[in-house]
Amino acid sequence: MKKRPNLAAAAVVALLAVFVMTVTDAGEPGGGDRLRMVFPDGQSPGVSGLLSGGNHQAHSD
């Protein structure tokens, strides 16, 4: 009788997320900056809100 190799079952999940992120720089001294992230698939809820810390700055490169 031919011996069969031991096979372990494994699940590999590959996740790909496409999203659009908008950061609003409300000026100095860094208060009032906002972040918004939406998923264009229409199925996933987006998130948005006031950033609680940091001095996020928008620069054009």
What is the mean pLDDT for each group of 10 consecutive residues in the chain (61 residues)?
A: 60 77 78 85 83 73 67
What pLDDT does 8 receive? 61
DSSP secondary structure code for residue 32 in this structure: T
pLDDT of residue 6: 55
pLDDT number for residue 7? 58
Distance (Å, whole) CA 14 – CA 4: 29
52: left (phi over 0), alpha (psi -120 to 50) or beta: alpha
Rounded distance, CA 24 to CA 61, Å?
A: 16
| Cα 61 from chain centre | 22
The pTM assigned to this predicted structure is 0.56
Residue 44 has a pLDDT of 78
Per the listing, tokens 């700055």 go with 57
